[in-house]
Structure 1
Amino acid sequence: MKIIVFVLAVLCCMFSACSTSEPNIITDPPEEKEEITLEIVDKNATHETKALLSNLWDIQSQSGLMFGHHDDLIYGRDWKSIQDRSDTKEVCGDYPAVFSLDFAQIMGARSVNVEFNADRRRTILEARERGEVITACVHLDNPLTGGDAWDNSDNTVVQQILIEGSDTNIKFKSWLDNLATFLSDLKDSEGALIPIIFRPFHEHTQTWSWWGQSMTTADEFIGLWKFTIHYLRDEKGVHNLIYAISPQLDFASNKEKILFRWPGDDYVDFIGMDSYHGRNTDALNANAKILEELSIEKKKPCGITETGIEGVRNSDGSNYANYWTKEILTPLIGKEISMVVLWRNKYDPTHEGHHFYGPWKGHNSAQDFVTFYKSSFTRFSSDLPDMYEMAEGITIQ
């Protein structure tokens, strides 16, 4: 655990030492923690899932920020499929508090990649054993055209999904069946289902995906969101998901943009935000403040669910040595946000490319990441409370 120096306490002792008398000092009793009730989409969610939601709220309300990294336990810059390895851990000595991964290969046509999916299961179990938080996005293939998630050649795909009995509807439900089977067999060492923060149809404010704003109407997107939840929760009996929405905001924006095509408070547990703002630190600062305000207003925990600069570079292509403290810590410190998740470090042992967003040993920002890690504001794996037991003073209903 990182040591926090209580400066105020030291100052009080100094002032006491300077005093020549010992006046009767009346101190206020310690403030009682405010009781709060949060709503959850799945009223039949497991105890551990409700507990995770409570702790997400508790961590951010205590001004703590969990660091996360996508695919951090599956592969890194110089390695892949090696148990217990992590680019993050090799830099700072600790695992990320949040492990992010993709469920598309579990669900759709790419689910035949048995070896890679075995790595997904293994690393989820390892992360849960250490008490870390697991979140999953879905770059899901296009069920109408057969293309990938970026195939936006036919704007009727969501219409077809929502037509009961259509070929696309049947295919999409079979992919949800695959996910339900995977999740229902995902259990920790005590036999309890492992909770996942699930963010389907992420970055729906953008135009690149078949579920994005240029491919769907508002009614279609909201219908798709609700259909997916009803099918997993009510038809398949999946009760270990926390449902997270995550629009992408790269420039300073407003509350309405975060709420773009909002499916309703009853259908969202967690408010995420993907932010590829580059070096526009003011934009991240402004949007994080709006996210914080919206989180408090709606009583739903929030976080930066994807961010980073490819290659951790300056605009001239040189390495950004103080990236972590300047671009991540500075705009987010003190804000009531539960997590910040960096995108992946592609396996590239020859270092021919620059497709990495997180820390790795050998990059010249590594020492700055250690400074980021040592901040009393950041949380890594060993800093976490028991995320799967209810946080004090918080009720989930």
Structure 2
Amino acid sequence: MRIVKQTGILIAAFCLVSQVSVAGRSPEAAALLNALKSISGQYLLLGHQDATAYGIDWAAEPDRSDIKSTTGAYPAVHGWDVGHLEIGRNANLDNVSFSLMRDRIIEAYERGGINTISWHSTNPVNGESAWDTTRNSVKQILPGGKHHGKYNDYLNRLARFFKTLKTNDGTAIPIIFRPFHEHTGSWFWWGEAFCTPQEYQALWRYTVDYLRDKKGLANLLFAYSSSTIESEAHYLVRYPGDDYVDIMGFDEYCMGDEQAYTARMAKSLAILTAIAAERDKVAAITETGYEQIPNPHWFTQVLYPTIKDYPVAWVLLWRNAFNRPNHFYAPYPAHSAAEDFRNFYRLPAVRFEDGLAPLHIYQPTKP
């Protein structure tokens, strides 16, 4: 990763990039996309799932996150999930109320933060969870399929929620939407073993067209996110096309063997960043982490050295569950990795939310 200490150089580079229009995007979404392109390879943004919704021994408290309690700053990227919104629930699958989520998304944006939303969708075919492995579900929700109308109902509920994500002056908050993730695995109903590449591509294109064109959600950017990247061909076999993707990423977790993790990460990053550069897309590590963080130096000695030489815009740590004591991926103040995480925060190329303002993330794109 190239470290640019002179902010003015970065801003000048951004101003050049910001002249590039992004068709069909709101000015704020276009500015975000162009800024992410400009900082990739110069700065690494840190993200955390459900960062301001809950944490270790707390939930739904104002002005709080485990990352802020540890470092004094919020994460730059705030991850959310709208699973269960599609079936009319008041809270998502991790018990975050959609009312609270809306408030926290708006607060993050107004502070200068970035919001990304994944979707662990209920299976429209049978009402089972995202982890249902019923074959041919995707085929049945495409146009002409038996459950296509149900899927449209799901999208309508998402669209209604997305349209409420606005500031007091009516500005639609740019959202990085990441549906149907980890599709190269076979643990979700949209996974590799349960639909053909053509069906997955059709589902993705239909979803984007419906939300972006039919529902007029010009504030959405779309992130295509696999599991471990085995090869360029495997990563792209279900790719829906450049007109339907803004960000390319992957999910990868450390499962105890740090050497194996860094090897998988390095292989995936090399492939991802080459593809993204060729297609003029933003590259990101859309989920990662080490559950419970047993290595107190994991952030500065494992995660950052693995990422630093690759041009990715952000890395998102998974959540700190308030109701599952051993399910957390970011340090809290009393954790043994807290000081190492503060050292990670201080690295010149790493940015949390308090370091975003000089990067002009939301500067409107000039005509």
Secondary structure in structure 1 of the residue aligned to 2:223 = strand
Tell me how far 1:5 sits from its aligned partner: 7.4
Secondary structure in structure 1 of the residue aligned to 2:285 = strand
Task: Describe the shift of the 1:345–1:50 C-alpha distance in structure 2 as closer, same or farther (beyond 3 A).
Answer: same
Given residue 335 of structure 1, which amino acid in structure 2 is its aligned partner? Y
Partner of 1:79: 58
- Correspondences of 1:257-336 after superposition (within 5 Å): 257-278=234-255, 279=258, 280-312=261-293, 319-336=294-311
Contact 2:186 2:192 in 1 (8 A): yes
Tell me how far 1:164 sits from its aligned partner: 3.5
- Correspondences of 1:33-72 after superposition (within 5 Å): 33=13, 35=16, 40=22, 43-61=23-41, 63-72=42-51
Cα distance in 2 for residues equivalent to 1:46 and 1:131: 17
Q: TM-score, normalised by structure 2?
A: 0.89
Larger radius of gyration: 1
Tell me how far 1:290 sits from its aligned partner: 2.3
User: Bigger shift: 255-264 or 361-370?
Assistant: 255-264
Task: Describe the shift of the 1:5–1:120 C-alpha distance in structure 2 as closer, same or farther (beyond 3 A).
Answer: closer
Partner of 1:147: 128
Tell me how far 1:106 sits from its aligned partner: 2.3
Cα distance in 1 for residues equivalent to 2:169 and 2:91: 29
Structure 1 residues without counterparts, runs of 5 or longer: 7-31, 313-318
Cα distance in 2 for residues equivalent to 1:287 and 1:163: 34
Cα distance in 2 for residues equivalent to 1:190 and 1:111: 26
Q: Deviations over 1:167-212 (max 9, x none)?
A: x211111111011111112112332100100010000000000000
Partner of 1:389: 363
Q: Deviations over 1:262-285 (max 9, x none)?
A: 111111111011112432212212
Cα distance in 1 for residues equivalent to 2:347 and 2:236: 32
Contact 2:248 2:282 in 1 (8 A): yes
Contact 2:43 2:350 in 1 (8 A): yes
Contact 1:270 1:302 in 2 (8 A): yes
Partner of 1:24: none
Cα distance in 2 for residues equivalent to 1:50 and 1:389: 9
Task: Describe the shift of the 1:235–1:72 C-alpha distance in structure 2 as closer, same or farther (beyond 3 A).
Answer: same
Partner of 2:158: 179
Given residue 221 of structure 1, which amino acid in structure 2 is its aligned partner? Y
Contact 2:172 2:219 in 1 (8 A): yes
Task: Describe the shift of the 1:115–1:266 C-alpha distance in structure 2 as closer, same or farther (beyond 3 A).
Answer: closer
- 1:372 aligns to 2:353 (yes or no): no
Tell me how far 1:70 sits from its aligned partner: 0.2
Contact 1:52 1:195 in 2 (8 A): yes
- Correspondences of 1:323-362 after superposition (within 5 Å): 323-348=298-323, 353-362=325-334
Contact 2:53 2:96 in 1 (8 A): no
Deviation >4 Å, runs of 4+: 3-6, 32-40, 111-115
Secondary structure in structure 1 of the residue aligned to 2:84 = helix
Cα distance in 2 for residues equivalent to 1:130 and 1:258: 35
Given residue 73 of structure 2, which amino acid in structure 1 is its aligned partner? D
Cα distance in 1 for residues equivalent to 2:114 and 2:254: 25
Contact 1:277 1:284 in 2 (8 A): no
Cα distance in 2 for residues equivalent to 1:138 and 1:101: 8
Secondary structure in structure 2 of the residue aligned to 1:246 = strand
Cα distance in 1 for residues equivalent to 2:97 and 2:288: 24
1:255 to 227, 232, 235: 232
Could you tell me the percent identity over the aligned residues? 37
Cα distance in 2 for residues equivalent to 1:328 and 1:237: 39
Task: Describe the shift of the 1:175–1:320 C-alpha distance in structure 2 as closer, same or farther (beyond 3 A).
Answer: same
Tell me how far 1:390 sits from its aligned partner: 4.4
Partner of 1:14: none
Contact 1:104 1:110 in 2 (8 A): no
Cα distance in 2 for residues equivalent to 1:151 and 1:247: 18
